[in-house]
Structure 1
């Protein structure tokens, strides 16, 4: 284990600001709002703020408040946060972030999880938190070969928890993490006490449709019409030509900003603009991490190493809880999971709920793990 400290060179910050200042802005295309993609005026305002108003050093210092390390497992250099709770009987918990996200996803979540006493919670429900950067993301090394799978990442996570000396632990993830977290239980069934995902289980496939009830068919139809189901198909795009698109994201911060905001906008179910739902600086810290580490392309491995999109199925090695059951269907999720926690009404205005509502998310996560400790 090697201690790690984030320290982006000043030359990289200067280069970012210079590139933003020299952006060749396109002409606005006809159409209202976001109908043609990210509006030019909107992005120019945000780029101006990223260049002159946003302070990376403030957020770099905040990230450095978390103890960080690097270690090599399975030939892979892994970066991770390891924040132990002041409560000695805390349950170890490994968090897996989503795409296009990073450990920044958990910036406001770690405190309520590790020290619930300080946030008005029950100290008996505290966690020791481990939050690795998925290979190819942030400060973890990118996969050097093709053929990577979420199962391989999960085995690395199990090895990391063993190396840290944890005899039993929980696993949590959303988005990409909703694929990885169940695989951790499959890889380490004797030590994983529970799997918690933000959502994604029990989504019907076309083959399920004829057997759906009338209410389930209505829910499926609503799902198919959701904005986040009908935006840019990033799975198809990054499966087809990730190297091609990486040139723009690697060379132009405006292109990188446009891509990130396109996805964060599509992942927003709240009627308010995304920067009013999620903290604007938090979004830009996540983007800056991608920019400074040059990981827009390498973070796409789970899409370019796949042949088609599929929803996560889960596992039966450990009990499962979710933050939000709907729009998934519980009876479908129970084909592949032992569901212990399936709330119907947890609020979520954004796909990355841990960024949006860390306190509510932490409370629900504690509710589930209280059942399996």
Structure 2
């Protein structure tokens, strides 16, 4: 593999060893499609600038309610800011990232960054895992060793996976598209190229949030055996119609009623971030100029995640730590991808949570604190080849990050029946 140390998609003051050949014109040489090693190191100046900006935040007045109905609470953000500026150490996660095999390759004019960890066990099943928003590759770091080294984590050698975790274009260490058209379907096509380029002729895919949208679009490659999702698109027509202002659904079971209430609340009170990024992402200059603006925007995603993060900064330990949360936000900041990540919402024309016509085998893990907990009844109708469904007792939007042990067991169980096809 060739080594390349060239320009970076990251914020000024950040050093990256990465190939960067985006949007090549006819007059330019052919794009280098080799797979090259990648490493990231933020400069001391970039970290100092982050700390300075956090300390210089001009704070708004306090919310006028005793809960988060007006947005992320001032007390939460001030606790986050104090820890971020005075105690948080980016170098810790940077060292963990550097210990992983990371690469970059150019696909369809964009540099695609990915982690690629192979199992020591023979016949490991390749899996490509896609993050969502406001997530990143950091979401999946806790599950890499349990998936690739199952015998050290309560599994057997037959449970082993080779793991590929790419950064979506416009996110993290991947390049920012310089032309229109990078919707979830195009990302899916790029993933198919990536897996082929890595030599995997048969593989499975996992994702939630945008990762689910990408994977539900990734059903065409012959080598794709099946997908696992923790945020599936399963909404029946009557539920979609009700969310659009139609008549309230009737005759729902207990699980369906629970999901309906989650969705109704989300659409009435929490979908604003997605609508703004879907309509006017370029207006969000504050995401790339103010770390506190970026942090608040990312935290105000869904009600349960926001509550969890608030509890963590109040001193609780519930799957995520303060460092976990700031590792992810700081990655967005240092790579200057707060605004560029939002463009995927503008590009996508897919309806939220609606079935995408998936005909290959699908496994679903339904977590209670997700934006909505997909009922089995909706799931069976949405996926005619449902091979696994499990309703979990704990976990939310960042399931692999919050509940890595449970999530690992779900992936093992989900794809066990497909291994004979590998």
TM-score by length of 2: 0.82
User: Which of these residues, 270, 285, 288, is aligned with residue 327 of structure 2?
Assistant: 285
Residues 32-72 of structure 1, C-alpha deviation per residue, up to 9 Å, x if partnerless?
13122122222111111011111000111011111000000
User: How well do the aligned residues superpose, as a CA RMSD in angstroms?
Assistant: 2.3
C-alpha distance in 2, partners of 1:79/1:97?
13
User: Which of these residues, 394, 398, 408, is aligned with residue 352 of structure 1?
Assistant: 398
C-alpha distance in 1, partners of 2:358/2:280?
35
* Corresponding pairs, count: 369
| Structure 2 CA distance for partners of 1:179 and 1:252, relative to 1, 3 Å | same
Residues 191-250 of structure 1, C-alpha deviation per residue, up to 9 Å, x if partnerless?
1111100123322333487886331663454233546863252221112221111x1111
User: Would the aligned equivalents of 1:265 and 1:274 in 2 still touch at CA under 8 Å?
Assistant: no
Number of the residue aligned with 1:244: 283
User: Would the aligned equivalents of 1:185 and 1:315 in 2 still touch at CA under 8 Å?
Assistant: no
Number of the residue aligned with 1:296: 338
C-alpha distance in 1, partners of 2:292/2:308?
25
- In terms of mean alpha carbon deviation, does 66-75 or 232-241 score higher? 232-241
Number of the residue aligned with 1:235: 274
Partner SS for 1:263 = coil
C-alpha distance in 1, partners of 2:57/2:307?
30
User: Would the aligned equivalents of 1:268 and 1:274 in 2 still touch at CA under 8 Å?
Assistant: no
> Which 5+ residue runs of structure 2 have no aligned equivalent?
1-34
Number of the residue aligned with 1:258: 296
> Which 5+ residue runs of structure 1 have no aligned equivalent?
none
C-alpha distance in 2, partners of 1:261/1:206?
26
C-alpha distance in 2, partners of 1:259/1:198?
23
Partner SS for 2:233 = coil
Residues 249-288 of structure 1, C-alpha deviation per residue, up to 9 Å, x if partnerless?
1111111121122226553576982554322211101100
C-alpha distance in 1, partners of 2:309/2:326?
21
C-alpha distance in 1, partners of 2:265/2:303?
13
Runs (4+) off by over 6 Å: 208-211, 269-272
C-alpha distance in 2, partners of 1:308/1:2?
33
Number of the residue aligned with 2:374: 328
| Structure 2 CA distance for partners of 1:214 and 1:288, relative to 1, 3 Å | closer
- Does the alignment pair 1:38 with 2:84? no
Number of the residue aligned with 2:226: 194
User: Would the aligned equivalents of 1:201 and 1:313 in 2 still touch at CA under 8 Å?
Assistant: yes
TM-score by length of 1: 0.92
